[in-house]
Amino acid sequence: MNEKPVEQDIINASMKIFIKKGKDGARMQEIADEAGVNKMLLHYYFKSKDLLFLEVVKKIVVDLYDCVIEESMNSMTFKEVLSVFIDRHFDFLNERKESIQFLLWELSRKELDLKEIVSGSYKNFGRNPFELLTFKLNEAIRKGEVRQVDASDFIINLFSLDLFLFAAFPIMRMMSPADNSEMASMIGHRKKEVFRLLWNDIENK
């Protein structure tokens, strides 16, 4: 039996059901049906819904890492890293809106240690996004490229600005309907605006 594709099919199916019904509303039989496996095989790979839920959370976070960071960023300036990160982060959030909304909702209801859940998952990247951004920002501060700022505050501002559009997406869609081209234009504009706001705030002029 080729286990990896089956396991991945189960995780992908779980994500669909969890997003649709939430963790508490999802049933293992529904997940098995969506994955095209029997319930016994599902339990062979994942003993409980809780374990399956943690794997789904891990996949969302690892997919984010894979999208927004790469080894070449180690040689970039902080300004370049910030620009690339914002661009890729917006693209990921746009492509995975439902996953992100599900994750934010579940995190607001449960105390999950994301660092522990994804521990070791970013070994291929060297650093996770928070570590990379902190390292590059502190490097820029030492070089005098940007003013002295608290890295934690800066990263909170960055993620807040990036996430808001997508966290509030269902409400915004109801209040101001937009077709795909208008949405793409809005996202492109927000990428530039978020970069402008953050960089202008810290740049040494």
CA dihedral 135, 139, 141, 145 (to 10 degrees): -130
Same domain, residue pair 181 and 156: yes
pTM of the model: 0.83
Report the domain count for the chain. Answer: 2
Same domain, residue pair 131 and 185: yes
Same domain, residue pair 42 and 65: no
Same domain, residue pair 102 and 165: yes
pLDDT band of residue 122 (cuts 50, 70, 90) is low
Indicate which CATH number applies to the domain containing 21. 1.10.10.60
Same domain, residue pair 18 and 75: no
Query: Which string of b and e fits 89-125 if b means at least 16 CB within 10 Å?
Result: bbebbeebbbbbbbbeebeeeeeeeeeeebeeebeeb
pLDDT in tens, 33-77: 999 999 999 999 999 998 998 889 888 888 888 888 888 888 999
Q: How many CB atoms lie within 10 A of CB 38?
A: 12
Same domain, residue pair 105 and 178: yes
Question: Is residue 53 one of the residues assigned to a domain?
Answer: no
Q: Which domain holds residue 86?
A: 58-202
Q: What percent of the chain has pLDDT over 70?
A: 87
Indicate which CATH number applies to the domain containing 179. 1.10.357
> For residue 197, which of 163, 165, 157 has the smallest C-alpha distance?
157
Residues β-bridged to residue 146: 203
Residue 169 has pLDDT above 90, yes or no: no
Residue 14 has pLDDT above 90, yes or no: yes
